[in-house]
Amino acid sequence: MYAAHFAAGLAIKARAPRAPTWALLTGAFLPDILWIGFARVGIEPTAIANFFDDWSHSLAMVISWGALFALAFWRQGRGVVLAVWVAACSHFLLDLPIHPKFLALYPHSAIHLGVVTSGAIGARRYWFAQLAVVAVSTPVYVRGLAASGLRRNLVAASCLIVLTLHLLMYPG
């Protein structure tokens, strides 16, 4: 998932306006950011044949990495810490239905969770599935932030950015 993680981060922002946007969005992408690093050094192979992302994307690790990252904001209050942690955990929930490989419960676990792999569903259907997440998250964000006083044109601009990002990712 790509734009859907941004949409989820923004939806959480609407619920926790005191939390910095960058922290929520970084939290929402934390497993992917770690995956990039792990894949670069070879801890998590990226080839389809032996794709492995348990250290960045397994349930236990997402919860742990998210907690570590969220704790960096403890000075901003419990609400902000919780919001950032939830943003990080949202990554697992969004990746759970569709992912290149079913998500592990913990690194090297024999138990894997998921509904369908992105390879099986196809790039186009995957894109539309993400669009559905964006479509659900965006109104939450719009309603929440509009109520909190953020100018409507800025809310609209951020929605437009997310939608544009998603459109740019259209397969083919």
Which residues sit at the interface with other proteins, rule CB under 8 A?
Answer: 2, 6, 10, 13, 16-22, 25-26, 29, 32-33, 36-37, 39-47, 49-50, 52, 54, 76, 80, 101, 108, 110, 145, 148-151, 154-155, 157-158, 161-162, 165
- As measured in angstroms, the least distance from the Cβ of 132 to other proteins is 20
Between helix 59-71 and helix 21-41 the angle, nearest 10°, is 130
Sign of CA pseudo-dihedral 82, 132, 61, 110: positive
Task: Please tell me the distance from the alpha carbon of residue 72 to that of residue 87, in angstroms, as a whole number.
Answer: 14
Nearer to other proteins, 33 or 116 (CB): 33
Measured from the CB atom, the residue of 18 and 124 that comes closer to other proteins is 18
Distance separating alpha carbons of residues 3 and 134, to the nearest angstrom:
7
Closer of 38 and 98 to other proteins (Cβ):
38
